[in-house]
Chain A
C-alpha cells in the first residue's frame, strides 16, 4: 500500500515570497491533516479535512496560510507571504476516519525562509 506522498521535499524561499505544498493521501483515507513541525517540537495541527470539507482550522494563520482539498483526495497548502518563523517541516497525514483512528504521516516538506 502506497504511503502519504508529499512534494516538494525541500524548499528555500525569501521572506514575503509564496510557496505551495502538495499532498496525496493513502487511497481510501477520508481524513487529511496538515501539521507544522518546528525543529525540536512536536507536530502542531494546522488544518483537518474530512473528505473535502474543513473540520478544524483553528490553528491555521489564515492571514497568510490557506489550504484546499478538491474532490476529497489531493490537498494543497499555501503560504503567502512567508515569514521567517514559517521555517518548519510541513507534514501531511491521513486516516480512514475522524475518530481516534491511526494517522499516517508523509515524509514532510521542509521549508526554509531566509
Chain B
C-alpha cells in the first residue's frame, strides 16, 4: 500500500529563518510527487509537481526537490504570509493520489 509520511508535524520559524519540510514516500512506480499549500478554511492550493529523482522546482521563497525516497520543501527567508499547512502527495501505478498528514508552518515576526 502506498504511504506518504511528512515531518515535522508542526514548525515555528522566525521571519527570515530558513528551514526544510520533509516528505518520505513508499509508492510503487512513482508517477508524480506533489506539494500543496492549505490555508485554514480553504482547499489545497497546488504548488509543485516533481516526476523524477534529481528534479527541482522553485517558486518565490519555496524550492521543492526529489530523491528516490523523499522530497524536501525548502523555505528560504520565510515571511508571516508563508504560514499555512503544507501537504505532500504522491501518485503511483494505480494513479491514486495519497496524501501525508501535512506540516503546519507558523512564521512569526
Taking beta carbons and an 8 Å cutoff, which residues of A are in contact with B?
4, 33, 40-45, 48, 55-56, 91, 93, 98-100, 102-108, 110
**Interface range on chain B (Cβ under 8 Å from partner):** 20 to 34
| With A40-B101, A42-B89, A42-B100: A100-B43 Cβ-Cβ less than 8 Å | no
A-B contact count (CB 8 A): 52
| With A42-B87, A42-B102: A48-B43 Cβ-Cβ less than 8 Å | no
| Closest Cβ neighbor of B99 among chain A residues | A42
Identify which of A44, A100, A108 gathers the most chain B CB atoms within 10 Å of its CB: A100
Contact A100 B91 (CB under 8 A): yes
Contact B101 A108 (CB under 8 A): no
Identify which of B51, B97, B100, B102 gathers the most chain A CB atoms within 10 Å of its CB: B97
Closest 6 CB pairs of A and B: A42-B99, A105-B43, A100-B32, A100-B31, A105-B44, A108-B43
Identify which of B4, B41, B87 gathers the most chain A CB atoms within 10 Å of its CB: B41
Q: A43-B44, A100-B95, A105-B46 are in contact. List 8 more A-B contacts (CB 8 A).
A: A42-B89, A42-B101, A45-B97, A93-B43, A100-B49, A105-B43, A107-B41, A110-B41
| Closest Cβ neighbor of A42 among chain B residues | B99
